[in-house]
Amino acid sequence: MEPVLVKKERLVIVGFQQRVLPYDNAIPQLYGQWAERANEVDQVIPGRTFGVELVPSGSTREDGFEFVAGAKVMTESLVIPEGMITFVAEAGSYAVFTYRGTLGFIRTFIDRIYRDWLSPKWSVRAGYHMEVYDERFLGPFNEESIVEIWVPVTVNEAASIA
């Protein structure tokens, strides 16, 4: 489960945000809501859907968290449709993990990232991570589906960044 360390530019995502409790069914519903109304957003960059899990500092996922389902847009200065929000992921280094399998096990994979993937070279720099869905995602029940998990990190010492 070794990540690729990459530099990412500032990313503006428009979508829906909702408070989520662990193991409820709100996240698939949020993606469904996004799919129904995505065409209302101007300047969406096609091909990827983003899920952003925001866990405030000092709390755990079990306390509940905010989740954003949406897509990257070309600019921050556009009219946001009613009920939607803008989330900005600042430019910086990200550890990119590749998950392959059904969505039923993605939570376990993400938990392993935070529990097992520790390195003195990096530290998590923000209270969020992103799930990135593109053409490699073949559906929630397809074992060949691929999802990228982007974790923002601070590089503490020399490390190779793609």
pLDDT along the chain (162 residues), means of 10: 91 96 86 96 94 80 88 88 95 96 93 82 85 97 98 77 58
Domain of residue 110 covers 4-155
Residue 11 falls inside a structural domain: yes
What CATH number did the domain enclosing 45 receive?
Answer: 3.20.80.10
In a domain, 161, yes or no: no
Residue 162 lies in a domain: no
Question: What pTM, to 2 d.p., does this model score?
Answer: 0.89
Whether residue 114 is contained in a domain is answered as: yes
Domain-embedded: residue 121: yes
Tally of structural domains, the chain: 1
User: Which of 155, 24, 22 minimizes the C-alpha distance to 93?
Assistant: 155
CB 19 within 8 A of CB 66: yes
- Residue 156: CB atoms within 10 A of its CB come to 11
Instruction: Please report whether residue 48 resides in a domain.
Output: yes
